[in-house]
Amino acid sequence: MRIGMVGSGYVGLVSGACFADFGHEVCCVDKDPAKIAALNRGEIPIFEPGLAELVAKNVREGRLTFTTDLSGAVAAAAAVFIAVGTPSRRGDGHADLSFVHQAAREIAAALAGYTVVVTKSTVPVGTGDEVERIIRETRPDADFAVVSNPEFLREGAAIADFKRPDRIVIGAEDARAAQLMTELYRPLYLNQAPLIVTSRRTAELTKYAANAFLATKITFINEIANLCEQVGANVQDVARGIGLDNRIGTKFLHAGPGYGGSCFPKDTLALIKTAQDYEAPVRIVETVAAVNDQRKRAMGRKVIAACGGTVRGETIAVLGLTFKPNTDDMREAPSIDVIRTLQDAGARIRAYDPEGMAAARAVLSEVEYARDPYDCARGAAALVIVTEWDMFRALDLARLKAALARPIVVDLRNIYRPDDMKRNGFAYVSIGRPKILPAPSLEASEPSRVEIEDTRALATTA
Ligand code: UDX
């Protein structure tokens, strides 16, 4: 089947490459000529494991092409996907649909023969109706249907998520369009991926509800982690203890510095706004968004507390800048708030990230970038782990300790074990687990103690 993919960003590029790999003929469109020229040279604008190879293979085999010519791609296609950005609108937090509406107008002008127009971008409830109206107004004679098909892939695991989804959701208002979509996803359908065919509005809302629920799960365990710190419990054991109940599930219960990324912050906000407009407020999600916002700066204060209450004039080493591992994406990354809080308190920052330093330079000022984790730790008063890249999980602890001015590690992702860190002579603070307090002088030669941090100190930092 021939597919036009309008928008060659994260979702468009990954979906386009995967559809091509299923055997469809895919033409990816983008307004940005530089991006299309780069893609045609085989250069991938984002860091996503396996994507470069998948694109190269399908281009070579003639199923995947890139163009700025939207009309040509649309006229040839049986299904046209809208996969353009839907950022938060400045000022009010609603999703900005101007790119979606513009795409709908341009697609309308180019339609030839029965075409299914699919919104793949995350769009508020009712956007499908609006896209349909725009197309009908632009081209009263067009033969088309508008379908919602939200995408649930995660950055860093995008290809596996697309090819082996937990489910496929299709929101269609007529049987012919639903049939075409089912045919499109047949390779997955045959693979037993459940396919839910529902109304367009239901599909649109399903995507927001999924992201809001996951954000809620993370925020819930983050607050339980705060409580664990106060009462001397271990959040990882609590997460496992509740997660093994099938009704809860073990995933998305990793306590950390708060969620970031291109989806959760933006989509929770958009859901909150839509729900308020319809006078059916989602108060739980409102609280989740507020709690998560506050948490990111609280993590900076946690570092300051671990350093004895001040970081003025000190260098703090930060490992991991991207909002999660295996991406170069800095959008809404907790590292930004952690670093700014530390800078506001007078600290100098030296940071290292395997893929995110170029993007970080555009967002953060006055940060020194290191060559590797040990170079980052050099002479620093403390080391903070903000993103759990695999390469940070097995650091040479003796080398790290030798590099640091003070052996303090604040692990905001719980990737080390407190007892290991104790054995290696670190003062170690993590999330929702017993702390290893430094010996009074912080000298490496003095034995450390594992104990629960003074609850009065915590109350001021959490
Ligand atoms: C998310 C959804 O998972 C995906 O289905 C949707 O299509 C887009 O949004 P993504 O933003 O790529 O994907 O990353 P995800 O792996 O979900 O992580 C989001 C944030 O939550 C990250 O900052 C991550 O560190 C954080 N997180 C995730 C936690 O803090 N704890 C967890 O247990 C899981």
Q: Are 262 and 331 in contact (CB under 8 A)?
A: yes
Query: Which residue, by CA, sits nearest to atom 26 of ligand 1?
Result: 259
In a shared domain, residues 359 and 338: yes
Domain count of the fold of the chain? 2
pLDDT reported for residue 438: 65
- 324, 389, 431: which to mutate for ligand 1, most atoms within 8 A of CB? 324
pLDDT tens, residue by residue, 398-435: 999 999 999 999 999 999 999 999 999 999 999 999 88
Judged against a pLDDT cut of 80, whether residue 208 lies above it is answered with: yes
267 ligand 1 Cβ < 6 A: no
- 46, 154, 204, 223: which to mutate for ligand 1, most atoms within 8 A of CB? 154
Alpha carbon separation from 313 to 157, 342, 347, 381 (Å, rounded): 40, 11, 5, 10
Query: Which residue, by CA, sits nearest to atom 25 of ligand 1?
Result: 324
Which residues, 6+ apart, have CB-to-CB distance to 315 below 8 Å?
Answer: 347, 348, 349, 350, 379, 380, 381, 405
- Of 169, 198, 227, the last residue of a domain is 198
In a shared domain, residues 404 and 262: yes
Q: How far apart are the first and last CA of the chain?
A: 54
In a shared domain, residues 192 and 216: no
pLDDT reported for residue 444: 43
Ligand 1 centre and the CA of 257: distance in Å?
A: 12
- Local confidence band at 460 (pLDDT 50, 70, 90 cut-offs): very low
Determine which helix (DSSP H) or strand (DSSP E) holds 364, and give its type and residue range. Answer: none
Judged against a pLDDT cut of 70, whether residue 168 lies above it is answered with: yes
Distance CA 356, CA 362 (A): 10
389 ligand 1 Cβ < 6 A: no
Distance CA 404, CA 425 (A): 12
pLDDT reported for residue 7: 97
3-state DSSP call for residue 161?
helix
DSSP per residue, 67-123: ES-HHHHHHH-SEEEE----PBPTTT--B--HHHHHHHHHHHHH--SSEEEEE-S--
Query: Which residue, by CA, sits nearest to atom 21 of ligand 1?
Result: 259
What CATH number does the domain containing 432 carry? 3.40.50.720
Amino acid occupying residue 228: C
What is the position in ligand 1's atom list of the atom closest to the CA of 157? 12
Q: What is the mean pLDDT of residues 85-91?
A: 85
357: tokens are 């330093």
What mean pLDDT is reported for the chain? Answer: 93
Q: What is the mean pLDDT of residues 23-36?
A: 97
Judged against a pLDDT cut of 90, whether residue 190 lies above it is answered with: no
pLDDT reported for residue 461: 39
Ligand 1 centre and the CA of 261: distance in Å?
A: 7
pLDDT tens, residue by residue, 235-266: 999 999 999 999 999 999 999 999 999 999 99
Distance CA 80, CA 70 (A): 10
pLDDT reported for residue 116: 98
Output the known binding site for substrate: 152-155, 207, 252-256, 260, 324
94 ligand 1 Cβ < 6 A: no
In a shared domain, residues 384 and 446: yes
- Local confidence band at 456 (pLDDT 50, 70, 90 cut-offs): very low
pLDDT tens, residue by residue, 297-355: 999 999 999 999 999 999 999 999 999 999 999 999 999 999 999 999 999 999 999 99
396 CB-contact burial (10 Å; exposed 0-12 / middle 13-18 / buried 19+): exposed
- 161, 214, 388: which to mutate for ligand 1, most atoms within 8 A of CB? 214
What is the position in ligand 1's atom list of the atom closest to the CA of 323? 23
- Local confidence band at 373 (pLDDT 50, 70, 90 cut-offs): very high
Output the known binding site for NAD(+): 30, 35, 86, 122, 155, 266, 331
pLDDT reported for residue 436: 82
Place of tokens 């300790």: 401
The strands making up 115-119's β-sheet, listed across from edge to edge, are 64-67, 25-29, 2-6, 79-82, 115-119, 144-148, 168-171, 195-198
- Of 151, 168, 198, the last residue of a domain is 198
- Of 198, 231, 261, the last residue of a domain is 198
In a shared domain, residues 403 and 451: yes
pLDDT reported for residue 140: 97
In a shared domain, residues 188 and 244: no
In a shared domain, residues 339 and 371: yes
Distance CA 410, CA 408 (A): 7
Bridge-partner residues for 76, per DSSP?
A: none
pLDDT reported for residue 424: 96
User: pTM, whole model, 2 decimals?
Assistant: 0.91
In a shared domain, residues 192 and 333: no
In a shared domain, residues 332 and 436: yes
Ligand 1 centre and the CA of 154: distance in Å?
A: 7
Whether ipTM tops 0.85, in short, is: yes
The strands making up 435-437's β-sheet, listed across from edge to edge, are 367-369, 348-352, 315-319, 382-385, 408-411, 427-429, 435-437, 449-451
Q: Which domain holds residue 126?
A: 2-198
In a shared domain, residues 150 and 205: no
Q: Which long-range contacts (C-beta less than 8 Å, at least 24 apart) are formed by 260-263?
A: 260/296, 260/323, 260/324, 260/331, 260/332, 260/333, 260/334, 261/155, 261/323, 261/324, 261/329, 261/331, 261/332, 261/333, 262/10, 262/155, 262/329, 262/331, 262/332, 263/122, 263/211
Catalytic residues: 263
pLDDT tens, residue by residue, 97-132: 999 999 999 999 999 999 999 999 889 999 999 999
Query: Which residue, by CA, sits nearest to atom 6 of ligand 1?
Result: 152
In a shared domain, residues 139 and 233: no
In a shared domain, residues 253 and 110: no
Output the known binding site: 30, 35, 86, 122, 152-155, 207, 252-256, 260, 266, 324, 331
What is the position in ligand 1's atom list of the atom closest to the CA of 260? 23
